[in-house]
């Protein structure tokens, strides 16, 4: 990892970091660097932990997506956060730079399945094999007539595979750099970032909101 780890928040139960673009959330068969391993090394070094460090991955961000991601530092925290995710309690807010001219606000809903061979989400109908409902809301933060691009704030209501990418593409507003779903190529990669995550603290039971700072859109100017 070339950039230093950006820690947003940490305590005895949670570690919240800002994941950069191009870094896996967890290890895969490629052997490329991954955030989970890096975070374990950070905890081991900072707190002088002997042996293996426990760190539970309870959510993921795609390789090409940056932003807020939370890890559980205890098994109890992992279980409670996983339950929140199953119940769709966390509030995840993303920002995306898209091509086209979306309305000031909108709601997208449909049924999608995961094409395992192509590793893509595809639209389908309710009741079809693998069909899962996908729902999100968005509002336009700004737009440019000159470039025919807009910055959207997106609130996920479900958490499906490639959901934001495929739903915005199907609506006619593909994300910059997301060539897989029809977006225009961009040297800085894909313009999608998780800017805010709200969860209930696993032990204190209070709502906590974690935000990724910085004007990330500069790289796409």
In the chain, domain spans: 7-220
Q: What stretch of H or E contains 63?
A: none
Residue that is written with structure tokens 């950039």 in the block: 3
pLDDT at 145: 87
Annotation: CATH topology of 7-220:
Pseudouridine synthase (3.30.2350)
Q: Using 50, 70 and 90 to split pLDDT, how confident is the model at 3?
A: low
Q: Model confidence over 10-32: pLDDT tens digits? A: 999 999 999 999 899 999 888 89
Task: Answer left, alpha or beta for residue 100, where phi above 0 means left and psi between -120 and 50 means alpha.
Answer: left
pLDDT at 219: 85
Which alpha helices (H) appear in the chain, and where do they start and end? 35-47, 75-86, 163-170
Active-site residue list = 62
Q: Using 50, 70 and 90 to split pLDDT, how confident is the model at 2?
A: very low
Task: Answer left, alpha or beta for residue 214, where phi above 0 means left and psi between -120 and 50 means alpha.
Answer: left
**Is 157 within 8 Å of 128 (Cβ atoms)?**
no
Report the sign of the C-alpha dihedral through residues 168, 171, 173, 174, in that order: positive
**Is 16 within 8 Å of 70 (Cβ atoms)?**
yes
Q: Using 50, 70 and 90 to split pLDDT, how confident is the model at 1?
A: very low
Please state, rounded to an integer, the average pLDDT across all residues of the chain.
93
Q: Model confidence over 36-58: pLDDT tens digits? A: 999 999 999 998 988 899 999 99
134 has a pLDDT exceeding 90? yes
**Is 72 within 8 Å of 81 (Cβ atoms)?**
yes
């Amino acid at each position: 990892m070339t950039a230093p780890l950006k820690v947003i928040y940490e305590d005895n139960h949670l570690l919240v970091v800002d994941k950069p673009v191009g870094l896996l959330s967890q290890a895969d068969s490629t052997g490329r660097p991954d955030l989970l391993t890096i975070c374990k090394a950070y905890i081991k070094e900072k707190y002088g932990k002997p042996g293996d460090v426990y760190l539970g991955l309870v959510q993921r961000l795609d390789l090409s997506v940056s932003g807020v991601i939370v890890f559980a530092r205890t098994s109890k925290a992992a279980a409670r956060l996983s339950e929140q995710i199953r119940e769709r309690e966390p509030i995840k807010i993303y920002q995306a730079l898209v091509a086209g001219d979306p309305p000031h606000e909108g709601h997208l809903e449909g049924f999608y399945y995961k094409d395992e061979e192509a590793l893509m989400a595809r639209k389908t109908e309710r009741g079809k094999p693998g069909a899962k409902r996908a729902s999100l809301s968005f509002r336009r933060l700004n737009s440019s007539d000159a470039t025919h691009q807009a910055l959207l704030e997106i609130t996920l209501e479900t958490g499906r595979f490639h959901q934001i990418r495929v739903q915005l593409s199907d609506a006619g507003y593909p994300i910059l750099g997301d060539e897989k779903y029809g977006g225009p190529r961009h040297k800085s990669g894909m313009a999608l970032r998780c800017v805010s995550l709200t969860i209930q603290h696993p032990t204190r039971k209070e709502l906590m909101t974690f935000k990724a700072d910085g004007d990330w859109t500069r790289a796409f100017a």
